[in-house]
Structure 1
């Protein structure tokens, strides 16, 4: 399945996945994270679609995460980041999505280096593969390749500029996304915010064939008229 998908998607964007980082310098060596431990049961269900979860890094890095010397995303040791890829998640037609289908093979040092400017957290790369990717691919590299093709096909809006717009709403963010990606359906752009109304993530919804489709109400998030705030960082 993954081979057919990568062939179908290959014309969308080049690899490796380096887009969307303000700047990024991959270190020559990356310390492999500790093996992941499943946080739930193994569920093997049919895949009916996908969610590409895209995080707004400045919001994640508010607080003590920025001072963690092991946190590449926030401590500035390898660069500065705006939007980053949280992960690509297979979804079920109904009920809980597939998860934790396998925890091995583990990602290699080269897998981590190749995708670090897309997802600048080594342990998260492994976690996303084990929890989500192992249910749609046999190898971490295959899972990351599909996510990277989708990621590099996007042109994400300038959230820093949007944050300065008076009266910003969730609809303004969706319209800015469509302006950068003409033809992308508004219904396929989910917005996740914190309790205080700060942007946390975009949820981009796809069908089984990786064509954008309408998000469900939970993934779509606040309606267009709801006020939105975007943290720019220090």
Structure 2
């Protein structure tokens, strides 16, 4: 089953990735994070689809995170980031999604290096594998291969430019994304908005075949006419 999932993802023809990791420089050595600790029960259920969670980094990096010397995503030591990959999450046909199927084997130093410019948080790379990836692949490299294929198939909108649009709405963001990614209908583009109406994440919804499908109402988020703000981090 897991081999089938990886093979299906490979059928997606990668397009040039947009420059959301500005001047990303992978350091020669990355400190290994602590092993992920489950924050909930092990749930093993059939997989009915997937969510690719894409974070808007400037919003995440507001405040003290920008001053943390160990936070690659926010402290600019390895580059500046726009949209980054939070994770690829398997979803259940109904009910709670699968999670925490295994915490070993752990991602290697090479896994961290290979994926740091996509997910510039070493502990999050380990966490996403253990909580989500272990339910869809036997080893971390298989999970990250699928995630990177989906990530590299996207052309992500320029959040900085969008943030300057007068009267910006959630619908404007969805329009910008679907204009750049013809395979995605609007119904497949979920938006997560935080306090003050600022953009936090995109939830991109896929079926079991790794093709876009309509998001659930919860994943889809606010309606198109909802006002939206995007923090530029400057």
Fold in common (TM above 0.5): yes
Secondary structure of the 1:209 match is coil
Matched, 1:179 2:182: no
Name 2:68's counterpart in structure 1: 68
Cα offsets for 1:185-214 (capped at 9, x unmatched): 100000001021100000000001111000
Structure 2 portions without partners, runs of 5+: none
Asked whether the 8 Å contact 2:18–2:154 carries over to 1, the reply is: no
Q: Which residue of 2 aligns with 1:27?
A: 27
How far has the Cα of 1:23 moved from its partner? Answer: 1.8
| Contact 1:52–1:205, Cα closer than 8 Å, also in 2 | yes
Could you tell me how far 1:8 is from its partner in structure 2? Answer: 3.3
Alignment of 1:1-234 (within 5 A): 1-10=1-10, 12-13=13-14, 20-234=20-234
Q: What TM-score do you get using the length of structure 2 for normalisation?
A: 0.96
Contact in 2 for aligned 1:18/1:117 (Cα 8 Å):
no
- What is the CA distance between 1:58 and its match in structure 2? 0.2
Question: Could you list the per-position Cα deviations for residues 144-168 of structure 1 after superposition, in whole angstroms to 9, with x for gaps in the alignment?
Answer: 0000000000000111000000000
d(CA) in 2 for partners of 1:181 and 1:13?
A: 12
Tell me if structure 1 keeps the 8 A contact 2:48–2:208.
yes
**How many positions carry a matched residue from both structures?**
233
- Note if contact 1:101-1:134 (Cα within 8 Å) is conserved in structure 2: yes
1: CA distance, partners of 2:146 / 2:68? 30
Distance in 1, matches of 2:22 and 2:74, equals: 13
Distance 1:18 1:175, change over 3 A: closer
What's the offset of the Cα at 1:31? 0.3
How has the CA–CA distance of structure 1 residues 208 and 8 changed in structure 2, closer, same or farther, with 3 Å as cutoff?
A: closer
Per the TM alignment, residue 182 of structure 1 is displaced from its structure 2 partner at its CA by: 1.6
Q: Cα RMSD over matched residues? A: 1.5
Q: Which stretch of structure 1 is more off in the superposition, 175-184 or 159-168?
A: 175-184
Aligned-residue offset at 1:36: 1.1
Displacement over 2 Å in runs of 4+: 1-11, 17-20
Q: Deviations over 1:32-62 (max 9, x none)?
A: 0011110000000010000000000000000
